[in-house]
Amino acid sequence: MPEAPELATTHTAELDSSAKPERANRAHGPRRLFRGRVLFLLPALIYLLALFAYPIVYGILLSVRQSSVITFVHNTGGFVGLTNYRLAVTNPVLPGVVWNTAIFMVGSIVAQFSIGFLIALFFTRRFPLSGFLRSLILVPWLLPGVVTGIILRMMFDPNIGMVNQVLSNLGLIHSPIEWFANTHLALLVIVLANIWIGIPFNMLLLHGGLQDIPHELYEAARVDGAGRLRTFRSITLPVMRPVIAVVLVLGFIYTLKAFDIVMIMTGGGPMNATQLLSTWAYTLSFYNLDFGQGAAVGTIMMAISLVCAFAYVRTYRGELRS
Partner 1 sequence: MKFRRRKGLISGLNLAVALVIVGLMLVPLYWAVVTSLKTLHQSYATPTALFPPTPTFAAYSQVVHTQGGSLLTSFIIAVGATMVSLLISVPAAYALANFRFRVTWLVTLSLLVAQTIPGIVLGTSFFKIFAGLHLLNSYLGLIIADSTYCVPFSILVVRAFMIGLPRELLEAARVDGATLLDSLLRIVIPLSRPAILTAALFSFLFAWGDFLFALTLSTSNSVEPMTLSIYSYMGQYTSQWPDLMAAAVFAAVPSAILLILVQQGIRGGMATAGLKG
- Choice between 53 and 220, CB closer to partner 1: 53
Is 107 a residue that touches partner 1 (CB under 8 A)?
Answer: no
Is 237 a residue that touches partner 1 (CB under 8 A)?
Answer: no
Is 155 a residue that touches partner 1 (CB under 8 A)?
Answer: yes
In the list 75, 91, 182, 183, the residue contacting partner 1 (rule: CB under 8 A) is 75
Query: From the CB of 269, what's the least distance to partner 1, in Å?
Result: 13
- Choice between 224 and 255, CB closer to partner 1: 255
Query: From the CB of 223, what's the least distance to partner 1, in Å?
Result: 21
- Choice between 63 and 273, CB closer to partner 1: 63
Is 244 a residue that touches partner 1 (CB under 8 A)?
Answer: no
Is 130 a residue that touches partner 1 (CB under 8 A)?
Answer: yes
Identify the DSSP state of 43.
H
Residue 124: C-alpha distances to residues 134, 216, 219 (Å): 10, 15, 15
Q: Which stretch binds partner 1 (CB under 8 A): 71-79, 89-97, 99-107, 224-232?
A: 71-79
- Choice between 185 and 313, CB closer to partner 1: 313
Is 171 a residue that touches partner 1 (CB under 8 A)?
Answer: no
- Choice between 246 and 273, CB closer to partner 1: 246
Is 44 a residue that touches partner 1 (CB under 8 A)?
Answer: yes
| Helical residues (DSSP H) of the chain, grouped into ranges | 4-12, 19-24, 30-48, 54-63, 83-90, 94-122, 130-137, 139-142, 145-155, 162-169, 183-211, 215-223, 228-231, 237-257, 260-265, 277-282, 291-321
Of 180, 146, 163, nearest to 273 (Cα)?
A: 180
CB < 8 Å & 24+ apart, contacts of 21-25: none
Q: Report which residue type is found at 138.
A: L
Count of positions on this chain that bind partner 1 (CB under 8 A): 114
The Cβ of residue 103 has, within 10 Å, a number of other Cβ atoms equal to 17
Considering only residues 253 to 272 of the shown chain, the ones binding partner 1 according to CB under 8 A are 253-254, 256-257, 259-260, 263-264
Considering only residues 295 to 314 of the shown chain, the ones binding partner 1 according to CB under 8 A are 295, 298-299, 301-302, 305-306, 308-309, 312-313
Is 225 a residue that touches partner 1 (CB under 8 A)?
Answer: no
Q: What angle (nearest 5°) sits at the alpha carbon of residue 125, between those of residues 120 and 127?
A: 120
Could you tell me if residue 161 is left (phi over 0), alpha (psi between -120 and 50 degrees) or otherwise beta? beta
Q: What angle (nearest 5°) sits at the alpha carbon of residue 24, between those of residues 23 and 29?
A: 70
- Choice between 9 and 90, CB closer to partner 1: 9
In the list 162, 172, 181, 220, the residue contacting partner 1 (rule: CB under 8 A) is 162
- Choice between 37 and 222, CB closer to partner 1: 37
Phi, psi for 79 (deg, rounded to 5)? -70, 125
Burial (CB < 10 A; 0-12, 13-18, 19+), residue 162, is exposed
Q: Which stretch binds partner 1 (CB under 8 A): 49-57, 90-98, 106-114, 227-235?
A: 49-57
